[in-house]
Structure 1
Amino acid sequence: MSAAAWTAWAKGAAAPWHEAAFDDAYHLVREGRYEEAEARARAVIAARQGMWGRDRRPVTVWQATYYATIAAAAHGRGAAVLAEQEALVEELEQLDGANRDLLLSARLNRAWVLIDEGRPVEAEVEARVVLRELTRLRHLTEVWQLELSALTCLGDTLCAQDEYEEAETIARGNLPRAEKQLATLLHRLLIHSLSGQGRHAEALAESRRTFPELPPYASGELELARAVALHALGRTGEAETDARRALAACERYLHPAHPRVGEVHALLARIAAA
């Protein structure tokens, strides 16, 4: 451990071995290994909540809690960590300057859990708070990726409230500057907003574009969107095929309690009843 690292640690920064744990958790989340990622982060929390260090070095616990809750939520267990997310956001309000990007990321993660829990109005408030705060951080740090995530989240809250036209405007207005996974997630928002307006043929055409690989937490989203559009267009056999593909994609990475798994099962039930 270098002299600089020792100095930073003495002033309250995370120790290098904790940074390594966070790096592991980050990559495990990207690989869809959510339970392992959560366990890695919670090991850091447990280590810091002993008799030494918690008050002296709270940012370490905050970062670990962030990774633990984001892993659980991505897996589909957001309801189980919602209270923990709320407590984390409250503690992170102490941060200032560019460090507040951790707070804003935590608020967005909570907003997506609120959507899944049927509380889209509260989620919309969260997304709009994040967007307002980002305008004050532009001169301190790069925020465009977090801004696009916040706009996607806002669009999701609007779709959950049947405000599909505004969600479509958000998607179309920001797709030109989005890249890779962010572009794919905005396309997913566009497809959802079109289906919500009854424009199923357009939604189906959008869903058949070539997309970069979705992150594991979005498994089954595009297949489900295609299945919804096909079912609405009366193409039942194709809809069932895509719905089963969506279910297989979900089962690869997501917890059985994930809301998307329930959506796929509900669609398959409607198809069977048709």
Structure 2
Amino acid sequence: MLPSWRCPARAGGIEAAAEYDALLPVFGRIFGAEHPQTLKLRSNRAQHLATLGRHIECEVECAAVIQIATRGQGANMSLITTVARSGLVYALNGQGRHEEALAEAERADEVRRGLPEEWRRTSTGAVELSMAAALLGLGRVAQARTLAVAAHDACVSLFGPNHYRTAEALAFLDSVDGV
């Protein structure tokens, strides 16, 4: 199961999953199965599945998105790969596979570092939080906290205090401090 800081209230969660499922064939028809918009939707859907505890489904979907996106070219596909790898981290953490999750987070960070600066900004804090989650799962609390503080500070600076990722980083820090 995902840590409580990563699990949103489930009210409406099943309905949201149904919406993603309904939109997927529409996006495929309009854009094509390997178009960046379709891959973004699939990645978002996969991450939502993880919040519902559907970790194996999330893992399979993220792996499929990564496979397609790595064949594509350009910063957009690299960003999709980064986001899907971060989603895969949560799927693996949810299954207790923390070593694999840390390796995926490191791969996501490597891909992200290759992105142009303006593309890296959109993923500010995301990779750090996924890496921190893997480290926390491995019992490396101090390292996890350090990354989460950096993620929180970066998110506050770039997105402001009311952004969802800023709130996610703060919730992560609260959970770490409670360990």
Asked if structure 2 preserves the Cα contact closer than 8 Å seen for 1:137 and 1:143, the reply is no
Amino acid at match of 1:206: E
CA shift, 1:223, in A, is 0.7
Deviation at 1:220, TM superposition (A): 0.5
Secondary structure in 2 aligned to 1:155?
helix
In 2: Cα distance, 1:242 partner to 1:259 partner: 17
Q: TM-score, normalised by structure 1?
A: 0.52
Tell me the number of residue pairs that the alignment of Structure 1 and Structure 2 aligns. 158
Match for 1:194 among 92, 96, 100?
A: 92
- Alpha-carbon offset, residue 154 of structure 1: 1.3
**Distance in 1 between the 2:177 and 2:83 partners?**
29
Which of 142, 163, 168 pairs up with 2:59?
Answer: 168
Measured after TM superposition, the shift of residue 151 of structure 1 is 0.6
Q: Partner of 1:272 in structure 2?
A: 177
Structure with greater Cα Rg? 1
Any runs of at least 4 consecutive aligned residues in structure 1 with deviations exceeding 4 A, and if so which?
Answer: 115-118
Q: Percent identity?
A: 28
CA distance in 2 between partners of 1:120 and 1:255 (Å): 26
Give distance in 1, aligned partners of 2:137 and 2:10. 26
Distance 1:143 1:225, change over 3 A: closer
Measured on the aligned residues, the alpha-carbon RMSD in Å equals 2.3
Could you tell me the TM-score, scaled by structure 2's length? 0.77
Give the secondary structure class of the aligned counterpart of 1:169: helix
> Residues 270 and 116 of structure 1: is their aligned pair in 2 closer, same or farther, counting only changes over 3 Å?
closer
Please, which runs of 5 or more residues in structure 1 have no aligned partner? 1-114
Q: 2:14 aligns with which of 100, 121, 124?
A: 121
Counterpart of 1:182 in structure 2 is 80
Pair 1:206 & 2:97 matched = no
Residue pairs, 1:15-34, within 5 angstroms: none
1:143 Cα offset (Å): 6.4
